A and B are shown apart, each in its own frame.
Chain A
Amino acid sequence: MIRFLYQEANKDLTKEINKALLGDAELRAQLAEMKSSKKSLDAVQLEPSPESVLNILSYARGLQEH
């Protein structure tokens, strides 16, 4: 299920889980809960400071000029 959630399941496993999900409400509930947790992790997206971003871009441009 975790491989499936993180899209590491191969075609056969994906097919198997998709089939199992159709007939198993408990499995669907489990997957929904894990999906919710996974999505919530995306909420923890921090932004670097504009200064850091500018420093990186300056370096990238500096190399381009040479």
Chain B
Amino acid sequence: MIDKRCSDTELVSLYQTGNEAAFEMLLHRHKSRVYTAIYLIVKDRYEAEDLLQDTFIKAINTIKAGRYNEEGKFLPWVCRIAHNLAIDHFRKRKRYPEVTLEDGSQLFDSMRFAEESYEDKQMFRDTRSRMRDLIKELPDEQKQVLIMRHYLQMTFQEIAERTEVSINTALGRMRYALINLRKKMIKNNIAYDENFYPKRFDQVSIPRGQQGPDERD
């Protein structure tokens, strides 16, 4: 039996020594966030499912080969794998080229044009679906930063480097993304209910005296 309070680093170590349950816990902790990030990029459930599997298989191979060395930052590492695979995915598909990132990829362009399937429309009718639609309505630059920071867990410095803008530009885009999102939520009468949505497993408490904004309320 594994203690649920185990850190990601401890779980990786346990898995390396042959504890399968440790990997299962890691997967259950992070699968939703990684899958959501991939889905918001590729806009196709089936492709997102495939890329999610590819992402974790790559992570498993790296861990089992003894090449994992991320010093406890498991989620950002897995998200980077997912991001790179998504870039490769679009490179192979060669679709919707418009905005080119530093590495030549056209990752986020598909978001504006990809059509949702009937099945997708049927599947998400609740608040999550409406929120997702609001994210899609954001200007491309804001949407790009928002997905990279919030779902792919990149730092603003990494985003600035990746998108070839200054860090202040990246921060400004994120600020406007959140402000615009808030305006859209109010306009569309969407309220966030903290009791309805469970807290994320990856939220880490910060000691008193070093409190950030999430610990204020």
A-side residues, CB < 8 A to B, are 1-9, 11, 14, 18, 31, 33-49, 51-53, 55-57, 59-61, 63-64
Question: Which A residues are CB-close (under 8 A) to B110?
Answer: none
**Contact in complex: A44, B171 (CB < 8 Å):** no
Q: Known interface pairs A4-B212, A60-B60. Does A37 touch B52 (Cβ–Cβ under 8 Å)?
A: no
**Contact in complex: B213, A64 (CB < 8 Å):** no
B-side residues, CB < 8 A to A, are 15, 18, 20, 23-24, 27, 31-33, 35-36, 39-40, 48-49, 52-53, 56-57, 60-61, 64, 124, 127-128, 131-132, 135, 146, 149-151, 155-156, 171, 174-175, 178-179, 181-182, 185, 190, 192, 194, 196-197, 200, 206, 210-214, 217
Question: Which B residues are CB-close (under 8 A) to A63?
Answer: 60-61, 64
Which one of A11, A34, A35, A44 contacts B36 once the chains associate, using CB atoms below 8 Å? A44
**Contact in complex: B175, A2 (CB < 8 Å):** yes
Question: Which A residues are CB-close (under 8 A) to B56?
Answer: 56, 59-60
Which one of B64, B124, B181 contacts A37 once the chains associate, using CB atoms below 8 Å? B181
Complex CA gap A34/B151 in Å reads: 16
Q: Known interface pairs A5-B213, A40-B181, A40-B185. Does A34 touch B175 (Cβ–Cβ under 8 Å)?
A: yes
Which chain B residue lies CB-closest to A33? Answer: B182
Question: Which B residues are CB-close (under 8 A) to A7?
Answer: 206, 212-214
Report whether over half of chain B's contact residues are helix, strand or loop; otherwise say mixed: helix
Complex CA gap A10/B132 in Å reads: 31
Which chain B residue lies CB-closest to A52? Answer: B49
Which chain B residue lies CB-closest to A34? Answer: B178
Report whether over half of chain A's contact residues are helix, strand or loop; otherwise say mixed: helix
Question: Which A residues are CB-close (under 8 A) to B214?
Answer: 7, 35
Complex CA gap A2/B142 in Å reads: 13
Q: Known interface pairs A6-B156, A33-B179. Does A45 touch B53 (Cβ–Cβ under 8 Å)?
A: no
- 19 more A-B residue pairs beyond the given contacts A2-B175, A48-B32, A53-B27, with a C-beta to C-beta distance below 8 A: A2-B178, A4-B212, A6-B149, A7-B214, A31-B213, A33-B178, A35-B217, A41-B131, A41-B151, A44-B128, A44-B132, A45-B33, A46-B36, A47-B31, A47-B35, A49-B49, A52-B49, A59-B56, A63-B60
Distance in angstroms from B20 CB to nearest chain A CB is: 5
Q: Known interface pairs A6-B149, A18-B211. Does A64 touch B20 (Cβ–Cβ under 8 Å)?
A: yes
